[in-house]
Every structure is written in C-alpha cells, then in structure tokens.
C-alpha cells in the first residue's frame, strides 16, 4: 500500500524548507534511512531520510520549491502502484463545506487529525484548546488552517476545567546537570531588558603564547586562532560566575544554571550570522577546540551543519574583530543569558610604572539579560575574564600537555 511521507517537524521553530536537491527519482527503489532530499531551512541544509522501504511513486515538489511542515513530499509504495491524491481531495472537501459550529465534544483521534491541512504546531494548538480542527474552514493558502483560525474557534468554547498536574523537575538535561534557582525579590521585578559592559584586555602575553603554539598546531594541520584561548578563559570565568551560564524559565519563575559549557561561536555567512555550538568545551584541549572551530565554521559556510550542531548552547562568543571598531552590542542568542563580542586586537599606548609602552589590546563587549544577571556580577565576570587573558599561562591545562 502506498504511503505518503510528509515534511516532518524537525524542531527549532522551523515551519518550512526549500528543496535544494532531490537525491532520488520517481521509479527508484529506496531503503529506509536512505536520503531522499536535501532541504534548506533558515537554520541549515538538512538531509531528509526515507522512513520506508519501497519505490518512489511520486515526488510532490520540484527542486527550489518551498515545502511546509506537514505537506506530502514523497509517495512511496510498490512498483507500479497507483498514487492516490488523498491530500488534494481532502483540501477540496474542506473548501466546499460550510463552516459548522465547533462547539462540542472532540472525538477524533490524533491519527485522524494528522490528515488535516495544518502544520503540527497548529494541530497541537487545536488539541490544547479543545477545538474540532476537522470542522474548521482554513483561511490560509489552499485552505490551510492557521493558528488564528484555531484561536478564533477556541474563543467560542467555554473554558474547560484544568486537571491538576504533578510536575517532576529534573536535575539533568540532555547535556549534563543543572541547578534551579527561584526567581524572587528584586530580580523578579527587574524590567525585561538587556545591559552591556565594555572593557579592554592587554593580550600582549597571549599574543606571544599563541605564536609559540602556532607552529605545533600547523604541524597537526590545525589553524590556531585566539578564539580557543578566549573560550578557555570564558569557561574558567563562568565557573566562578554561573549565572552567566544559565537560561530563564519565565513560566516556572526559575533560573536554570547549566553545570556544563556548550559554547556557541557566531559565524558570518552571506545570509547573516549562524551560531554552531561546541559541546562540552570544558573537556577539550586548545588544539581540539581550534580544530572543531575550523570544522564548524567551514560547515556553516557550506550550509552543511546538522541541526544538532545549532542546539544546546549555554553561552555564545561573536568575533567582530575583522570589521574593526572599539565597541559593539552583540544580541543575546536566546534562550542564553549572555554573549561576548571580541573586537580587533590592535596596538595601543599604555603607561606602566611611569613608562609609555605599546601593548596589544583586545576590546571586549558583554551583553547580558538583566533579569538574570545584575551589573555588578557581570562586571566581576569581565574582570576575571580579563585577568585570565592578561596572564594566559592559567589557560594551559593538563588537556594541552
């Protein structure tokens, strides 16, 4: 029996994608997990695998077409089997029907609801609001049911009594342990806004240390930039100032402090910035960090990152040094609490013990969520970060030996 494979909800708020390239043709035999197509989302180019064994009976879109989550991409079945245009028939039927009242008891199963012309997000909303989605007439393109259709219909229903919920709060997430801090007092009342801190670090010694290690890195085929040292310094400073390595759960009124360090690195691509994440960076040597930075940056520019590479960040760093300037205001990568911008290292005049000297100076700009972090704590974090960069010997660990 022919099966229709719909563009899946792959998370991260993605609702559509552009088919960059079909990796199969109609009439071709495919195996489960074989790549069907390369689809470009606003996050990355992803390979969409087949969930079934069988023959490609029909490709429902052409290359460069936009496919919405929930739309049929491919029909797979037995060779020579007829293709039923089930989705098209259902849409015509919905358009011809008058819109009946949606007040009543919902009896449809989840399987029945999945056949409606609506995205998974809209279907979930209908289930949450108790709306009979099969009774709605969609206002979107080709009769597609929108969030507004569901919410408007939901206003016609009397509010249902809420069942008591038992909440179990875990001390772990996918990457490691977390701590929960209740959001209370002055911090709870703090306005929703972002604050900024601008400082400068004397990285003259760091410049020399990098130059010393650069030759060894080149022998290993690794390009050693300043970023691995900055990541190491950031992690050490975060350990003493954990609120900067947190997220805010507004619904629960809690600050979730992460006890691991997944560092996002902003990469400039033609379509804007993309932020791949180095997972568990605290367990990697300087050379390992440098190698992963290089690999992630290349994949980001080629748009071949996996979606998993973009998830799980706890703190981000954006290097705007190539652009120049003395300061920047980086935008926090939600749901993180802070982001650091590093600018161009340049020679600056400094006075030391009454003598004028030329020093290598690195401007640093920190943006942070004031609901989670106050200015004094952010200032202490930056001071510790500068201390570590000024005395880079502290950044060398047993992992580097």
**52 token code pair:** 């079934």
Query: Where are the extended beta strands (E) located within 224-332?
Result: 246-249, 254-258, 263-265, 267-269, 272-274, 277-278, 315-319
Confidence of residue 205 (pLDDT cuts 50, 70, 90): very high
Residue 303 has pLDDT above 90, yes or no: no
Measured CA to CA in angstroms, residue 174 lies from 62, 314, 350 at distances of 37, 12, 46
Q: Which long-range contacts (CB under 8 A, 24 or more apart) does 105-111 make?
A: 106/130, 106/131, 106/132, 108/132, 108/133, 108/134
Question: What was the pLDDT predicted at 102?
Answer: 35
Report which of residues 254 and 287 the model is more confident about. 287
Give me the chain's average pLDDT, please: 81
pLDDT in tens, 245-279: 999 988 888 899 999 999 999 998 877 788 999 99
**Is the pLDDT score of 241 beyond 50?**
yes
Tell me the C-alpha to C-alpha distance, in Å, between residue 324 and each of 197, 207, 367: 18, 18, 18
Give SS3 for 239.
helix
* Helices and strands, counts by H and E, the chain: 9, 20
pLDDT digits (tens, 9 = 90+) for 373-382: 988 999 999 9
Has residue 230 got a pLDDT over 90?
Answer: yes
Half-sphere exposure of 231 (CA within 13 A, CB side): 31
What is the rounded average pLDDT of the residues 176-199? 66
- Kindly list the catalytic residues: 370
- Residue 15: per-residue pLDDT: 79
Residue 212 carries which DSSP code?
H
CA distances to 78, 200, 217, 339 from 88, rounded to whole Å, are 21, 61, 58, 47
What is the predicted pLDDT for the residue at 111? 43
- Write the pLDDT tens digit of every residue in 304-337: 888 889 999 999 999 987 666 677 788 898 889 9
| pTM more than 0.75 | no
Residue ranges and CATH numbers for the domains of the chain are 3-77 (2.40.50.100), 86-154 (no CATH), 178-400 (3.30.559.10)
Answer yes or no: is pLDDT of 280 > 60: yes
Residue 12 burial (CB count, 10 A): 12
Helix (H, G, I), strand (E, B) or coil at 377: helix
Confidence of residue 166 (pLDDT cuts 50, 70, 90): very low
Distance CA 369, CA 181 (A): 16
| Average pLDDT rounded to a whole number, residues 73-84 | 83
Res 81: pLDDT: 81
Q: From CA 7, how far away is CA 15, in angstroms rounded?
A: 9
pLDDT value at position 184?
59
pLDDT tens-digit series, residues 144-162? 788 888 888 877 665 555 5
The pLDDT-based confidence of 43 (bands split at 50, 70, 90) is: low
The per-residue pLDDT for 152 is 83
Report whether pLDDT(172) > 80.
no
Which tens digit of pLDDT belongs to each residue from 100-129? 333 333 344 434 444 566 666 677 788 777
Across the strands, what pairs with 6?
72
Confidence of residue 29 (pLDDT cuts 50, 70, 90): very high
Q: What is the mean pLDDT of residues 199-211?
A: 94
| Among the ranges given (96-110, 178-192, 277-291), the one the predictor scored with the smallest mean pLDDT | 96-110
97 pLDDT above the threshold of 50: no
Q: How many CB atoms lie within 10 A of CB 100?
A: 12
């Amino acid at each position: 029996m022919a099966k229709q494979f719909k563009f899946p909800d792959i998370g991260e708020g993605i609702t559509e994608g552009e088919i960059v390239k079909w990796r199969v043709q109609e009439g071709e035999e495919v195996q489960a997990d074989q790549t069907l197509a390369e689809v470009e989302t606003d996050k990355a180019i992803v390979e969409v695998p087949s969930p079934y064994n069988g023959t490609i009976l029909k490709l429902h879109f052409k290359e460069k077409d936009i496919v919405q989550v929930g739309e049929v991409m491919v029909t797979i079945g037995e060779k020579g089997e007829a293709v039923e245009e089930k989705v098209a028939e259902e849409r015509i039927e919905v358009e011809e029907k008058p819109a009946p009242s949606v007040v009543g008891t919902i009896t449809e199963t989840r399987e029945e609801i999945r056949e409606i012309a609506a995205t998974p997000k809209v279907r979930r909303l209908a289930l949450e609001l108790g709306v009979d989605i099969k009774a709605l007439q969609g206002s979107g393109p080709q009769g597609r049911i929108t969030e507004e259709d569901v919410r408007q219909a939901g206003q016609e229903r009397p509010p249902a009594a809420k069942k008591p919920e038992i909440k179990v709060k875990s001390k772990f997430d996918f990457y490691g342990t977390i701590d929960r801090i209740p959001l209370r007092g002055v911090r709870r009342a703090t306005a929703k806004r972002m604050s900024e801190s601008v400082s400068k670090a004397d990285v003259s010694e760091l410049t020399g240390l990098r130059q010393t290690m650069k030759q060894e890195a080149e022998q290993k085929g690794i390009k050693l930039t300043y970023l691995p040292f900055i990541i190491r310094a950031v992690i050490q400073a975060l350990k003493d100032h954990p609120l900067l390595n947190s997220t805010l759960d507004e619904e629960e009124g809690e600050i979730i402090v992460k006890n691991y360090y997944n560092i996002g690195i902003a990469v400039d691509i033609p379509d804007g910035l993309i932020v791949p994440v180095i997972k568990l960076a605290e367990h990697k040597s300087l050379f390992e960090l440098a190698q992963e930075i290089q690999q992630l940056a290349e994949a980001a520019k080629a748009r071949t990152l996996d979606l998993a590479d973009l998830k799980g960040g706890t703190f981000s760093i954006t290097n705007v040094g190539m652009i120049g300037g003395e300061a920047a205001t980086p935008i926090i990568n939600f749901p993180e609490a802070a982001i650091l911008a590093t600018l161009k290292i340049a020679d600056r005049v400094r006075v030391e013990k009454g003598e004028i000297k030329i020093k290598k100076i690195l401007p640093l700009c920190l943006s942070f969520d004031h609901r989670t972090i106050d200015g004094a704590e952010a200032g202490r974090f930056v001071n510790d970060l500068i201390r570590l960069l000024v005395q880079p010997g502290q950044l060398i660990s047993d992992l580097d030996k």
